[in-house]
Homo-oligomer: A and B are copies of this chain.
């Protein structure tokens, strides 16, 4: 589990965990019936509160991506990777569209928006 927490960005930690586990499932690095690290071990590994990891796992289970078996652990559910991919793509699309619309409301030209985008993407 190579999960990276960015404490300085404004995305909540539990959401970063959810996003990255979804990504691992989509890419096939986590397959159906694979077991996730325990709440405690992951919290130790990431040096964050166990409650935060728990919140992420709860969210994943609520969305149907995992199944928790009491006393045993949390397992990857029978996931529809295609569906997941489509969902994530749509989420990204929505975010990008919202950003672009905001830029246009601000009177920033499409050319400027594009160059800004490329600047960030290239790093």
Chain A residues at the B interface, C-beta cutoff of 8 Å: 6-7, 9-12, 16, 19-20, 22-24, 26-27, 62, 69-70, 88-89, 91-93, 95-103, 105-108, 110, 112-114, 116-118, 120-121
**Whole-angstrom distance between the Cβ of A80 and the nearest chain B Cβ:** 14
Smallest CB gap from A118: residue in B: B114
- Contact check: which of B20, B88, B113, B121 meets A100 at CB < 8 Å? B121
**Whole-angstrom distance between the Cβ of A108 and the nearest chain B Cβ:** 6
Smallest CB gap from A101: residue in B: B9
Mostly, the A contact residues are helix
* Residue contact A120 to B102, C-beta cutoff 8 Å: no
- Contact check: which of B62, B95, B100, B113 meets A102 at CB < 8 Å? B95
**Whole-angstrom distance between the Cβ of A15 and the nearest chain B Cβ:** 9
**Whole-angstrom distance between the Cβ of A13 and the nearest chain B Cβ:** 9
A-B contact pairs, 14 of them (CB 8 A): A6-B101, A11-B98, A12-B70, A20-B105, A23-B106, A26-B107, A88-B108, A92-B106, A92-B116, A95-B95, A96-B96, A100-B120, A114-B117, A114-B121
